[in-house]
Structure 1
Amino acid sequence: MSRIITPSEVAQQLDVTEADLAFWRGAGLGPVWLEFGEHVIRYVDEAVHAWVIGQLERTEPTLHVSSSGNQAATLQTEQLPGIDSDQ
Structure 2
Amino acid sequence: MSVQDDLSAVQRSLEDLTRSVGRLEQQLGSGGLEMRRVRADASHLKESVALLREAAGRTGTPRRPELVTIPDTPYDDSLWIDTDDEGLGARHRHAP
**TM-score, scaled to structure 1:** 0.22
Name which one, 1 or 2, has greater alpha-carbon Rg. 2
TM-score (norm 2): 0.20
Structure with more of its chain in strand, by fraction? 1
Greater helix share, structure number: 2
